[in-house]
Structure 1
Amino acid sequence: MIVEVVTGADERPEARVVDVDDLGRLHLALGVVTDEEAAEALERSGLGRLQDEDTAFLDVAALRAAAEPRAGGPGWSAEWDRMITAARGKGWLSEDGASLQVHVESAAGA
């Protein structure tokens, strides 16, 4: 799963969740946007916040709410739970389970 921040309608950056059925990976991909634009788009969408150029924190409930309606199979919920459990085991999930630390990558050309 990927959360992208790319230039949207009217050249205004927007955050969107793509590849919702690929729960074996999760990261934030930034298109041709500044860090400030990315931070604003993430916060405006409710999906999370940008910590720095390498790290973001995604809201677990908002991410699931954005992805689940577009998921392709009946086993998606179980795969989601496995992804969250794995993230907790790696120290990427906040203590309260509300946010997930992810790596930021370039999506230039997206």
Structure 2
Amino acid sequence: MTVYLAIATDGVELRMPEHTTDLYASYWERLGPDQIVRLLAEHDAGELSEDRQSVMIPVATLRRLAAGRVSEGWDAEFEAMLEKARERGWLNESGDAVQAHLERER
């Protein structure tokens, strides 16, 4: 199970925030890149990469979307996930955004 940011015409949602073993972003609908960029901006949910293969998601956004939905101890697990992301080069230099692969859900 993984944490993932679901992107849809009605907004963004953090699904399965309690599972911090992986992170990705997905879109269910036939959204084009311009729509994805707009939705991410409207919801302060990150930026689409130039190659359109990933999203840089603000760590603060992930915390905001998980608030009130996760158990005590989640922060430590989330920090461990971010540390793994840092080791793999998926965290930006300032540590305030994490890269997530973007997939189209079928």
Identical residues among aligned pairs (%): 26
**CA offset at residue 53 of structure 1?**
2.2
Structure with bigger helix share is: 1
Contact 1:2 1:19 in 2 (8 A): yes
Contact 1:60 1:98 in 2 (8 A): yes
Query: Match of 2:13, as an amino acid?
Result: R
Instruction: Give 1:19's match in structure 2, choosing from 16, 30, 33.
Output: 16
What is the distance in 2 between the residues matched to 1:69 and 1:26? 19
Contact 2:9 2:39 in 1 (8 A): no
Instruction: Give 2:9's match in structure 1, choosing from 7, 10, 17.
Output: 7
What is the distance in 1 between the residues matched to 2:45 and 2:86? 19
Structure 1 unmatched ranges of 5 or more: 9-13
Please list every run of at least 4 consecutive aligned residues from structure 1 whose deviation after the TM superposition is greater than 6 angstroms: none
What corresponds to 1:67 in structure 2?
66
Given the two structures, how large is their TM-score scaled by the length of structure 2?
A: 0.89
Query: Match of 2:54, as an amino acid?
Result: T
Q: Counterparts of 1:10-89 in structure 2 under 5 Å? A: 14-32=11-29, 33-51=31-49, 52-71=51-70, 73-89=71-87
Secondary structure at the residue paired with 1:70?
A: coil
**CA offset at residue 67 of structure 1?**
1.1
Contact 2:4 2:25 in 1 (8 A): yes
Instruction: State the Cα RMSD in Å.
Output: 1.2
Given the two structures, how large is their TM-score scaled by the length of structure 1?
A: 0.86
Structure 2 unmatched ranges of 5 or more: none
What is the distance in 2 between the residues matched to 1:104 and 1:40? 15
